[in-house]
Amino acid sequence: MTIAVTEIISTWASGLKYEDIPSRTIACAKEQVVGIVAAMLAGSRTEECQPLYKALREWGDREESTVVGANMKTSMRNAGLVNSIVAQTLEWEDYLRSQHTGASTVPNALAVGEAVNANGKEFLTALVAYIKSHLFTNSCPNHQIDAAVVAGKLLGLNSEQMMDALGISCFPPMTQCFAGWFSPTKGLITGAPVHTGITGACLAKAGFKGFRKIIEHPDGFSSAIFERYDLEEMVRDLGNDWRTDTHSPKLYPCCGWLDALVDSALDIMREHKVDWRDISSIDVQSPTVTLLLNKPKDELIEMIDRIAGTDYLTCVPLFFNSIYPLAVAIVDGELTPAQFTKERITDKKLHEFFDRIHFAVDPSLDVKEMQEGINSGGVKIRLKNGTEYSKFTDAMKGSYKNPIDIREKLEICTRHILGNQQRDEIYNAACRIEQMDSIRDFTRLLL
């Protein structure tokens, strides 16, 4: 018998109360807010995102929600759209075990919460109300469901209206063309679903109907997206197993599969004061998928040249390459947006360094990632004088099994954007969101 996923999710989400949520989950949700706000502020300064703000100003929508880092307001739907795109732009969002949710749920909840003048408890309750799906990961489908639920919760939809919101949001089902990752459109992975989800929730509140079995129907959303999917997983342990508890902010603007490798390499370089020019070779122990992200050196350099010489292409593909982020982190001693400019990526000395990096696959690390959502990896650096240094990172820094102080990410992301006082105001406000009578007391700090 088909599981009534749409109804189960809608009934649970519409009835969820702040008091039902464990204190640890609330603490992780507030950390997620800080981490995603940091990613949005960093993305707001990129060249690629400036046309988004130009378009918003030309549209001239009613000013109901903050556009983070842009000193402007717009409609909640368009604020959600743009803030979500910007959160994805630098691949600097977060993980919740195997899912990425922050780049859709946080911009969504901020935009709708501000528009309806939700209080802090209402905001946090909506922020943790989303499905679990190991298959959906960071693709349009999970965000398309989450967006309708988060927005619907803040709009006060009952269970039937929430089913309508899902029925509207999930028709038609979204997917993506990976070729688009070469351009700024990559951020639409979350931006488009957020806009659609907020729209669906608004239409449902006004009385527009959606198909109320959209997720599970044999001719519905899930089957249109995937050949295989797990309906039971989407609703298993709702209200008991809180995926937010596994919040794992990313310290680097790159694919999370590479984070543990960058951790290991930078730790070696800093602890032993290694000069990259003295390195003869680097042996990398990585999950299989990390090697699948790799390209032969000649193809990598060809891609770099194409990115550097084409105005509509961005450095996003290099966030997902195995060699480039690791190499530039070792050479520069850090991995930030400064390492992904079109000027930096074309450095010939950096390209020569690519030859020193060699990968060996450890399939056990794939299992760990799939089961626990934990990225692991090791690096051995051999110097020209024969000295060797090794480091294995069992869980990437920032993961729920190797947590960081979220203020570290806020500082890294906003180092050239905010002063210490502004960062402290954002962090301290996030820590007391549940005490706020209006979420607007928080969003006013994000202009």
Distance between start and end Cα atoms, the chain:
50
**Residues in the chain, how many?**
447
Q: Compute the C-alpha angle 39/426/114, nearest 5°.
A: 85
Q: Scan for tokens 């820590």, then name that residue.
A: 431
Q: Tell me, what's the pLDDT at 123?
A: 98
Token pair, residue 88, equals 């994805």
The radius of gyration of the chain's CA atoms, rounded to the nearest angstrom, is 22
| Domains within the chain, CATH numbers bracketed | 5-251+411-443 (1.10.4100.10), 256-393 (3.30.1330.120)
- Contact of 355 with 327, CB cutoff 8 Å: no
Q: How many other β-carbons are positioned within 10 Å of the β-carbon of residue 7?
A: 19
Supply the pLDDT for residue 290: 85
- The pair of structure tokens assigned to 55 is 């378009």
pLDDT digit of tens for each residue in the chain (447 aa)? 589 999 999 999 999 999 999 999 999 999 999 999 999 999 999 999 999 999 999 999 999 999 999 999 999 999 999 999 999 999 999 988 767 889 999 999 999 999 999 999 999 999 999 877 665 567 778 899 999 999 999 999 999 999 999 999 999 999 888 888 899 999 999 999 999 999 999 999 999 999 999 999 999 999 998 877 888 888 989 999 898 999 999 999 999 889 999 999 999 999 999 999 999 999 999 998 888 888 889 999 999 999 999 999 999 999 999 999 999 999 999 999 999 999 999 999 999 999 999 999 998 888 887 778 888 999 999 999 999 999 999 999 999 999 999 999 999 999 999 999 999 999 999 999 999 999 999 999 999
Residue 423 CA, distance from chain mean position: 20
CA distance 1 to 101: 29
Which ranges of 90-218 does DSSP label H, i.e. alpha helix?
A: 102-116, 120-127, 140-154, 159-169, 188-205
What is residue 373's predicted lDDT score, i.e. its pLDDT?
A: 80
pLDDT digits (tens, 9 = 90+) for 209-261: 999 999 999 999 999 988 778 888 889 899 998 989 999 999 999 998 899 99
Non-local (6+) Cβ contacts of 244 within 8 A are 25, 28, 29, 32, 96, 127, 128
> 10 Å Cβ neighbour count for 256?
23
Predicted local confidence at residue 135, as pLDDT: 58
Question: Which two tokens mark 443?
Answer: 């969003």
Tell me the pLDDT of the chain averaged across its residues: 94
Exposed / middle / buried, residue 386 (Cβ in 10 Å: 0-12, 13-18, 19+): exposed
If you write DSSP's letter for every residue of 14-73 in order, what string do you get? Answer: HH--GGGS-HHHHHHHHHHHHHHHHHHHHHTTSGGGHHHHHHHHHHT----EEETTTTEE
Burial per residue of 230-251, b for 16 or more beta-carbon CB atoms within 10 angstroms, e otherwise? bbeebbeebeeebbbbbbbbbb
Residue 181, pLDDT score: 86
- Host H or E run for residue 427: helix 420-431
Angle at CA of residue 62, ends 113 and 112, nearest 5°: 15
User: pLDDT digit string (tens) for 73-112?
Assistant: 999 999 999 999 999 999 999 988 767 889 999 999 999 9
